[in-house]
Amino acid sequence: MQARKKYVLLGLCACCWLVLFYCGGGVQLRLLRLLTRHRSDVLRPWPNWTDRALLPRYAHLDELQTDPGSAESPRQRRQAWSTVYRDSRCRMDTCFDFSRCRRRGREGFRVYIYPAEKGDHVSESYRKILTSIAESRYYTPDPREACLFVLGIDTLDRDQLSGQFVPDMDERIRSFPSWNDGRNHLIFNLYSGTWPNYTEDLGFNMGQAILAKASLNTEHFRPGFDVSIPLFSKDHPQKGGERGWLLRNTTPPRRKYLLMFKGKRYLTGIGSDTRNALHHIHNGKDIVSLTTCRHGKDWEKHKDARCDHDNLEYER
């Protein structure tokens, strides 16, 4: 009889403990605090991070978008763009003086090329552009007759690591008497920025000039004002051949190659993911994509398994 009472008492205690465990979870915490109060007079929340004050609640959006391999953050890149595109709202009716083009009626559209200064080096590609303009019916040697002005300084390659980069552009273009903050000026450019970020910084303030550029960023392209041009090599011919070379004018054109690209494959930085993705469309038949990893001073540090094969195909 005594043993039965003991078992009943133990069972009631167990049931009470289970009820307290499931329904009153705070009791255990209060009991734990009473047992450990002698260790500390101040109750601290659990867990107690020692560097909690240094940990922000959320990461900043720019931090999440920053490329670990890039040297500047998106915020710094946007600030650089804002200095390049100070007149980002330019349109033909706001940043172009049409009165200069109406002085001679139909013959009013004349293009003037600034003469090259002594010691200036002009690339073969830019020389072809200037020669094409000078041989056209729109060229004028008199700046007073000009509706449009083209720089004689080579601006095609604005990569500071390039041997064709021309320094001190701001000082030089401001010395032109007809510059007028770039109004009625046309600037040609194929390459801009410097590895690995390649922002569209030309290295000078182009003001209200029209930009004819390859690989223009859609965010900064000024519709109806800027001109998007293809990226061409120095071997591209200045003229398309003699009269009568056009054999057909069909749409779409019946050609062997549908798409052809030959250029540098950026291993890191802006543009690397895009060109690596485009590599997979190469089939060697009607779609040909040839790239080389030889770009920059330390490209071998970033070379991958495809570089040796790609370099050979590019040279071949």
pLDDT exceeds 70 at position 53 = no
pLDDT exceeds 60 at position 137 = yes
pLDDT of residue 63: 45
pLDDT of residue 250: 60
Higher pLDDT, 233 or 153: 153
Average pLDDT, the chain: 76
pLDDT of residue 144: 92
Residues 260, 303: Cα–Cα separation, whole Å: 23
pLDDT class for 211, splitting at 50, 70, 90? very high
Longest dimension (CA), the chain: 127
| 283-297: average pLDDT | 82
Higher pLDDT, 102 or 167: 167
| 205-222: average pLDDT | 88
pLDDT of residue 200: 74
Residue 100: what are its φ and ψ, rounded to 5°?
A: -70, -20
| 262-270: average pLDDT | 76
| 23-36: average pLDDT | 56
pLDDT of residue 64: 42
pLDDT of residue 212: 95
* pLDDT, tens only, 95-131: 999 988 876 544 678 999 999 888 888 999 999 999 9
The whole-model pTM stands at 0.58
